[in-house]
Amino acid sequence: MAPTFRHAKGIRVLIDERDFSKFFTDFTVSASMDAAEVTTFQNSDRNYIGGLKDVTASFDGLFAASSVAGSTNDIVAFMDDAFGGSTKFVVTVDLEGTTGGRALMMTGDMVTYDIDSPVDNVVGLSLDIQGSYGYRGGRMLRPLSASTSTGSQSGIISAGTTAAGGTTGGGVGHLHVTSVASTFGSATFKIQHSTSGSTWADLITFTAATAARFQRSTVSGTVKERLRSTISSYTSAGTSDTITASIAFSRNGRSI
């Protein structure tokens, strides 16, 4: 079977409660692991064991600023406030824009932040995020989208899992709420799992969202082979008020 390639134009970059896709033009994730040598007498070849893992995400894009406080079109103000802060970024890069599509997930600190101003070109911006607690390759359970009521996304089945119980190493979930309507009340997002697809159990319940926010939550134990995201409660003063959010999940271990 021929491989299915992806074009980068549809990539979505979510950092904390912001969708920065419209600012960035290039993204690179670099993951590495130390190798400690354990070669002994009677070995004909060098032998190694895996050590500490490391990950860095690099973003390049375009400078934009605004005179309106809190404007979503002011990437520079956001980065200025975040640089050197004590709260780690929660980063999700949606590579495919589909339910079940690949997600690159990490948390970390901004360690490099550059603004480039060539006389003959647009003002550019770049930053590097040093990851902590590992790099996760996961799946999008909810690509960034707006909702006006309770409901569930389609369940996905992860490769390498089985109907006998999925995986046993737990995992991590990311929630990014990028915007809410002015008269919006609250919504509770969940990640659920299932063996058959007919009966679902709560795996992660995120803190109820009343405004733009983000959250990274970990879970231990068995994660069944089917996963989905849901909105279990939704309150609002207006019948058409929207909340725009994205959810991703990564299993611990080799299976995603």
- 35-86: per-residue pLDDT in tens? 999 999 999 999 999 999 899 999 999 999 887 777 888 898 888 888 888 8
Query: Is residue 256 one of the residues assigned to a domain?
Result: no
Q: For residue 201, what is the domain's CATH number?
A: 2.40.30.200
Under a CB-based contact definition with an 8 Å cutoff, are residues 227 and 195 in contact?
no
Q: Is residue 246 part of a domain?
A: yes
Domain for residue 67, yes or no? yes
Largest CA distance in the chain: 75
Check: CB of residue 247 under 8 Å from CB of residue 186: no
In a domain, 1, yes or no: no
Into how many domains does the chain fold? Answer: 1
> In terms of pLDDT, which residue wins out, 17 or 183?
17
pLDDT in tens, 196-237: 888 999 999 999 998 999 999 999 998 998 999 999 888 876
Residue 2 domain-assigned (yes or no): no
Domain span at residue 155? 8-251
Residue 85: is it exposed, middle or buried by C-beta count within 10 angstroms (0-12/13-18/19+)? exposed
Give yes or no for residue 119 having a pLDDT over 60. Answer: yes
The SS3 call for residue 177 is strand
Residue 175 lies in a domain: yes
Average pLDDT, the chain: 88
Lowest mean pLDDT among 17-21, 26-30, 186-190, 249-253: 249-253
